[in-house]
Structure 1
């Protein structure tokens, strides 16, 4: 059974590695991520070292298998990374449920996530979990010299209509 917990400082190397591996896999649909690898690695190191208190970790058999974060402690899931060797085992679904519950505990009624539109694995995963596409945009990315489409997905976590009269207690 997987264990979901808050990140610790000693998780930093594993979190950076998982983020980078997952990012490289996702970027494969866009083009060769080699030219952006060092920048991505630096970004993961900076984020993990400065924001580890906002990170949830999932372990499988005592090994860190993925992580997620709401960087600004709001309803936007800014990072969601599962080590490719652990994909398809239900760990992403469990981690997402946990981070969604945390979003609700913090007073938000929906969750949001953003990704590039060619990230079929992420888009399909989030759609299977009840997320819907709410926007699509395109912007030029100079590091790969092309336009990249991005999309935002969201999921209602708390019902707007309680179906009863009076306050929803």
Structure 2
């Protein structure tokens, strides 16, 4: 986790509940992995290659390892004391690498809050643009990112290191200045 993090913030959600965005803590790590896996599964297979049980097992193992292995900038979204989702930036300061929301909490504004939080963090750090990518068939994610001011800048095949497959991806960008 980064030491120059913004303090935790609270904002109202659709439905009136308060959403708290805060840095991931040690006690959150296992839940963060499970939420990522549950969220990935909830999208359903986005293409035929993702229906392979061996691919799904690789993805599950990667999600469960992810919060323990890397020194990440991970922000969790908490509602009434429970983690409802999370987002991350890894090594590239201008890239939002992950946005994952628990299936029970999707479509309530949590993903949008996380994306905008990372954009504001990057802007404060002097980053000129934010980048994010998703599967070409993940139309819900693309709509979310576009509603946050991102625009598609590339579409094509890209190798996914976890799945060890070439998958159709979309890259999006938002200017911060």
Is TM > 0.5 for Structure 1 vs Structure 2? yes
**TM norm structure 2:** 0.79
Partner of residue 120 from structure 1, selected from 125, 131, 139: 139
Asked if residue 41 in structure 1 is aligned to residue 60 in structure 2, the reply is yes
Q: After superposition, where does 1:93-112 map in structure 2 within 5 Å?
A: 93-112=112-131
Gaps of 5+ in 2: 1-17
Distance 1:41 1:50 in 2: 14
Partner of residue 131 from structure 1, selected from 130, 133, 150: 150
**TM norm structure 1:** 0.83
Q: Structure 1 17/146 Cα, relative in aligned 2: closer, same or farther at 3 Å?
A: closer
Measured on the aligned residues, the alpha-carbon RMSD in Å equals 2.3
Q: Structure 1 35/156 Cα, relative in aligned 2: closer, same or farther at 3 Å?
A: same
Asked if residue 86 in structure 1 is aligned to residue 102 in structure 2, the reply is no
Task: Name the counterpart of 1:19.
Answer: 36
* SS of equivalent to 1:115: strand
**Bigger shift: residues 80-89 or 132-141:** 132-141
Larger radius of gyration: 1
Distance 1:44 1:105 in 2: 29
**Bigger shift: residues 96-105 or 146-155:** 146-155
Residues 135 and 170 of structure 2 are in contact (CA less than 8 Å); yes or no, is this contact kept in structure 1? yes
Q: Structure 1 2/102 Cα, relative in aligned 2: closer, same or farther at 3 Å?
A: same
Q: After superposition, where does 1:49-64 map in structure 2 within 5 Å?
A: 49-51=68-70, 53-64=72-83
Distance 1:145 1:98 in 2: 31
The structure 1 segments of at least 4 consecutive aligned residues displaced by more than 4 Å after TM superposition are 143-147
Partner of residue 71 from structure 1, selected from 90, 96, 103: 90
Residue 127 of structure 1 and its aligned partner are, at CA, apart by 1.1
